[in-house]
Amino acid sequence: MAGLKNLKKRRRIQVILVAAVALALSTAMVGYAMRDGINFFRAPTQVAEEPPAPNEVFRLGGLVEEGTLVRGQGETVTFSVTDGGASIPVAYTGVLPDLFEEGQGMIGTGRYINGIFEASEILAKHDETYMPKEVMDALKDQGVYQDPNG
């Protein structure tokens, strides 16, 4: 009888250890898979004050600065994004969203390399009153945002 109890106890410990190892392994795999999937938002002022590493992917948002939109040869477009406190030059190769224009809010995903934000994706507003929350908060912090609804 004592041998059977000892066997059950040993099996229970083995199951608990295997479950703990599986949990640790799955947590590590999820963390590894998400290492590039989490993109932090930064306003132009934050990027100017503390530039991120060239290999860090993040989101930059603000207003497209008036008079800076330049369409180059092919699909390359350059412009500056501002939050009223700082202005960051952006280079993007691709097709811009239909509603993208100067003076409007945008968010781009990409890397900050040699003083230029190289965007891999650009998102623009989807109607006249929409402004992404992160962009609105950054503009409010700089005292630039004016609520169109009053």
Three-state secondary structure string covering 31-93: HHHCCCCCCEEECHHHHHHCCCCCCCCEEEEEEECCCCCEECCCCEEEEEEECCCCEEEEEEE
CATH 1.20.910.10 is right for the domain spanning 40-142: no
Rg (CA), the chain: 24
Residue pLDDT, tens place only, 95-150 = 888 888 888 888 999 999 999 999 999 988 655 555 667 777 777 776 666 555 54
Q: Identify residue 43 by its one-letter amino acid code.
A: A
Considering the chain, what percentage of its residues have pLDDT values greater than 70? 83
Task: Record the pTM.
Answer: 0.63
CA distance 132 to 41: 11
